[in-house]
Chain A
Amino acid sequence: MKLEDYKNRKPLTTPEGYFIKLNSEILKATSQKNTHPRRKEISINARMRWIGYAATIAIVFAIAVGVISAPYRNNDRHNEMTAAESTGYDTGVDSEFIDNVLANYPIDEYTFYCYLTDTDMDQ
């Protein structure tokens, strides 16, 4: 007998009416068992809504940080100005121009700043 010839032979058998009984036994067993809960699926709309919430929170946080830190930043700026004024070097002239002049002309720094700030050299 060739191998192919065994294919259509059915030597394995089951009790009579077995499959009807099997089905009812399976259904009886499953009716006593709970299914595991389905994994929650998040729809695109729900996802977008959550992204919206997160973005809103981030914006509110950024604004809050900005508002809280604003007075400190103003103070810093004020302090910087005061420092510049106290040195007397707040000339309002581009520092690059100043460097260029000091490097190329026979004038000392103090004299030049006095000239720029219109200060009397004797003071």
Chain B
Amino acid sequence: MTRNNYDEKEIIKQLREEQTRAGAFSSVVEIYSEQIYWHIRRMVFSHEDTNDLVQETFIKAWTNIGKFRGESQISTWLYRIAINETLTFLSRNQQVKVPIDTAEGAVADTIESDAYFNGDRADALFQEAISRLPAKQRLAFNMKYFEDMKYEEMSKLLDTSVGALKASYHIAVKKIEEFLKENN
């Protein structure tokens, strides 16, 4: 099954049967790996860390497939695992967090020197502005800004009220705009 003839119900049915599970999971990987990659990449920035986290996400999904009852969408289920993995990674890896006293522009310098960054100074500063947001605020910003996700959907994924997410997004936008205004 490919993106063109993707049938969620059929995939869920196949995931529940032992004989068809591996094949169905292969379709899930093919359809969602890129989406999950970019979701994680915008949170952790490093390609290598993202690569590890994406693999971990899918391995966890596979080993816990018995717990997936098909009540939510496959994408919701994968997103939840990816978010948990990413937040755990960010809380464990202090070096990914930007200390408050780090000079403005310093993170942009590092980003610009990354092998998998192909933007200009403005792009690097924009990435730095995002990286300075607290993890959950960054998550809310990325989901709304880049993935154009509905607040209701975000609320389900993050177990946070719609109101809190709207506030979180607007605060994030304000912080990023202020940072860009000061540094551009």
A residues with a Cβ closer than 8 A to B are 1, 3, 6-7, 9-15, 19, 22-23, 25-27, 29-31, 33-39
Asked if A35 and B119 make an inter-chain contact with CB atoms under 8 angstroms apart, the answer reads no
Are the C-beta atoms of A13 and B117 separated by less than 8 Å?
yes
Indicate the member of A12, A14, A36 with the most B CB atoms within 10 Å: A12
Partner of B62, one of A9, A14, A15, A35: A35
Q: Which residues on the A side are within 8 Å of B34 (C-beta)? A: 19
> What is the total of A-B residue contacts with beta carbons within 8 Å?
91
Whether B136 sits at the interface, judged by CB under 8 Å, is no
Known interface pairs A6-B123, A9-B123; A30-B59 also in contact (CB < 8 Å): yes
Instruction: Find chain A residues with CB under 8 A from B176 CB.
Output: 3
Report B's interface with A, CB cutoff 8 A: 16, 21-22, 25-26, 29-30, 33-34, 37-38, 41-42, 45, 47, 51, 54-55, 58-59, 62-67, 116-120, 122-124, 126-127, 145-146, 173, 176-177, 180, 184
A11 in contact with B124 (CB, 8 Å): yes
Would you give the shortest CB distance from A11 to chain B, in whole angstroms? Answer: 3
Given contacts A3-B173, A3-B177, contact A27 B123 (CB under 8 A): no
Min CB gap B100→A, angstroms? 22
State A6–B184 Cα separation when bound (angstroms).
13
- For B16, what are the chain A residues with a Cβ–Cβ distance below 8 Å? 38
B63-A27 in contact (CB<8A): no
Chain A residues near B29: list those with CB within 8 A.
Answer: 23, 26-27
Q: In the assembly, what is the distance between CA of A101 and CA of B15, in Å?
A: 87
Name the CB-closest residue of B to A32.
B59
